[in-house]
Amino acid sequence: MAASYVAMHSVMTDLHTAAKRCLDATDPAEKLRLTQATWEALQSGELHPDSTSLAPEPIGTPGRPALPQLVPQRQVPHRGLGTPEGRAALVHAVAHIEFNAINLAWDAVYRFRGMPLDYYRDWASCANDEARHFALLSDRLAELGHVYGDFDAHNGLWEMAEKTAHHDTARMALVPRVLEARGLDVTPSMIERLRGVGDEPTIAILEVILREEVAHVAAGTRWFRWCCERDGLDSRETFLDLVRDYMGRNLRGPFNRPARLQAGFDDVELDRLTALALA
């Protein structure tokens, strides 16, 4: 009975177990509910990373609903914004990114052990922000006559999570600082295109997301550099090596320099990233 009580108590207080529960939830509403509850429990001190927690399972498919259908990125159709259907498709694409980002943040909490408490706080906070963004976009989709799952989507973000599951340094470099940072580059042009068709409700949501994503990319920068310092690596050279190794010719610019500087990039990094994207 004593052993059973200890195991049950650990499940109730272990942050890694709670993160896995959020990660595995397939229903979006349940994932959002669990995410908010887990973040609040971490803030209140009810949850903490437990060194006795079971080792993370090999990375697999995260909890997601049966739809949207996932297709190769080149097969996701591009629609104009002149119709409600086209605007709904754009909102859906961003919602899919935010849904993936919830899973990415919880996987960072679940998978990488022995990190400082602030690391876990940062990524749990990011998960909570991404859940709120997804909720805003879902509401906007409903106003446009659609729900999440109505349009095909691609799985590029999670594929990179799978490729970097073996090492926290690679994950911090490639997911927040490359793929998620791409949102800093492309969202301003989305906002301008939506302004041209008068879609102020969607613009208001994207402005919130853009502002808050700077902090998420900054968390990636902070913990990537922490990992490099821990391992005695030069952070700038390591980052550029990882970008070359994992992205190859798929690195895309141009880069939103002011936003990326706010997110912790430096001018030398950005100059060299630009050169890589143009190569």
Task: For residue 96, tell me if it sits in a domain.
Answer: yes
SS3 string, 69-116, reads CECCHHHCCCCCCCCHHHHHHHHHHHHHHHHHHHHHHHHHHHHCCCCC
Spatial contact of 92 and 148, defined as CB atoms under 8 Å apart: yes
Q: Which residues pair with 260 in a beta bridge?
A: none
pLDDT per position in the chain (279 positions), as tens? 333 323 333 447 999 999 999 999 999 999 999 999 999 999 999 999 998 899 999 999 999 999 999 998 888 877 788 889 999 999 999 999 999 999 999 999 999 999 999 999 999 999 999 999 999 999 999 999 999 999 999 999 999 999 999 999 999 999 999 999 999 999 999 999 999 999 999 999 999 999 999 999 999 999 999 999 999 999 999 999 999 999 988 899 999 999 999 999 999 999 999 999 988
- At 14 the three-state DSSP class reads strand
- At 257 the three-state DSSP class reads helix
Residue in 104, 116, 107 with CA at minimum distance from that of residue 48: 116
Tell me the residue range of the domain where 102 lies: 80-278
Task: For residue 203, tell me if it sits in a domain.
Answer: yes
Task: For residue 242, tell me if it sits in a domain.
Answer: yes
pTM: 0.94
Task: For residue 168, tell me if it sits in a domain.
Answer: yes
How much is the pLDDT for 122? 98
Task: For residue 116, tell me if it sits in a domain.
Answer: yes
Task: For residue 205, tell me if it sits in a domain.
Answer: yes
The CATH number of residue 158's host domain is 1.20.1260.10
Task: For residue 114, tell me if it sits in a domain.
Answer: yes
Task: For residue 124, tell me if it sits in a domain.
Answer: yes
Number of domains in the chain: 1
How much is the pLDDT for 207? 98
